[in-house]
Amino acid sequence: MRFCKTIFFWGLISLGLGLTLGSTQVSPSESTPQASRKVKGRFVNTSQTPHTQEEVSKVMDRAEFLTNRLWTAATQDAKTEPSMPVATPDLAFLKSGHQGPSFTWLGHATCLVQIKGQTFLTDPHFSERASPVSFIGPKRLFPSPISLTQLPHIDVVVISHSHYDHLDLPTLRQLSQQPGGSPLFLVPLELKGWMQAKGLTRTEELDWWQTLEHQGVRYTLVPAHHWSMRTLWNRNETLWGGWVVRSDDFKFYFTGDTGYADLFPQIARLGPFDLSAIAIGAYEPRGFMKVHHINPEEAVRIHQDVGSRYSVGIHWGTFRLSSEAWLQPPRDLSRALEQRRVDPNSFITLPPGETLRFPPPRP
Report if residue 76 sits inside a domain.
Answer: no
Judged against a pLDDT cut of 50, whether residue 18 lies above it is answered with no
Report if residue 256 sits inside a domain.
Answer: yes
* Per-residue pLDDT at 20: 39
Overall average pLDDT of the 65-71 stretch = 49
Looking at 61-65, 98-102, 138-142, which range is the least confident one?
61-65
Report if residue 149 sits inside a domain.
Answer: yes
Cα atoms in the Cβ-side hemisphere of radius 13 Å centred on 116: 16
- 357 or 11, higher pLDDT: 357
Report if residue 71 sits inside a domain.
Answer: no
Share of the chain above pLDDT 70, in %: 82
Contact assessment for residue 228 and residue 189, using Cβ atoms and an 8 Å cutoff = no
User: What DSSP element (H or E) covers 278?
Assistant: strand 273-279
| pLDDT band (50, 70, 90) for residue 59 | very low
Pairwise CA distance, residues 292 & 282, whole Å: 10
pLDDT tens column, 255-287: 999 999 999 999 999 999 999 999 999 999 888
Residue 263's CATH number: 3.60.15.10
Judged against a pLDDT cut of 90, whether residue 133 lies above it is answered with no
Report if residue 353 sits inside a domain.
Answer: yes
* Per-residue pLDDT at 159: 98
State how many domains the chain has: 1
Pairwise CA distance, residues 14 & 187, whole Å: 22
Report if residue 210 sits inside a domain.
Answer: yes
Q: Which residues face 312 on adjacent strands?
A: 277, 348
* Per-residue pLDDT at 233: 87
* Per-residue pLDDT at 359: 73
Report if residue 229 sits inside a domain.
Answer: yes
Q: Tell me the whole-structure pTM to 2 decimals.
A: 0.88
For the chain, what is the total number of helices (H) and then of strands (E)?
Answer: 10, 16
Cα atoms in the Cβ-side hemisphere of radius 13 Å centred on 194: 21
Contact assessment for residue 56 and residue 288, using Cβ atoms and an 8 Å cutoff = yes
Report if residue 303 sits inside a domain.
Answer: yes
CA distances (Å), origin 189, targets 25, 156, 192, 203, 257: 18, 17, 7, 11, 16
Read off the DSSP letter of residue 360. Answer: P
Q: Which residues face 184 on adjacent strands?
A: 156
Range of the domain at 331: 91-357
| pLDDT band (50, 70, 90) for residue 237 | very high
